[in-house]
Amino acid sequence: MGLRVSTLDPNLIEVKNVFDRAIAGIFIVVSLLLLYTLRTAPLKSALFPGVVLLVLIGLSLTIIIRKVKERKDLFVNFKDVIIVFLLFGLYIILLPRIGFLITTVAFLIVSLFVLGYKGSKLKIIIISTLVALCIYFIFANFLHVNLP
């Protein structure tokens, strides 16, 4: 048996809604940028990534629309969304200079604090570190992609 949504703290639900909208917005922006870069690629090479990016944009829009319907006051925590976008920009700038692991762990920790995650500081640090290590492991060992 899982937790019922009605038993959750309303502040936690709002943080999740803001986080969902922010991530969906980030996916849309990144997908549009990647679609723009595909314009110079040959059609055969760009077809599959283009379709995947269009599907990602559609799904992200669906998330945003659902969250707006669930809660009418879309911009209640607009300040938090702007802060996460700025953090994401800083993350992109610092990534090649500092490296993937340190930058990702720091980004996740700060983002969780900004979005109001209520867990202990130790738990936030452990979760952020494990997520970054898992991503690094997957890219390095399975996808054979070197991360900065």
Its pTM surpasses 0.85: no
Of 15, 14, 57, nearest to 33 by C-alpha is 57
Predicted local distance difference test score (pLDDT) of residue 74: 45
Contact 60, 28 (CB under 8 A): yes
The secondary element (H helix, E strand) that includes residue 16 is helix 10-37
50 CB-near residues (< 8 Å, 6+ apart): 35, 38
Mean pLDDT of the chain: 80
Burial 123-132 (b: 16+ CB within 10 A, else e): ebeebbeeeb
Q: Residues of the chain with pLDDT > 90: what percent? A: 13
Q: Which residue has the tokens 């922010």?
A: 22
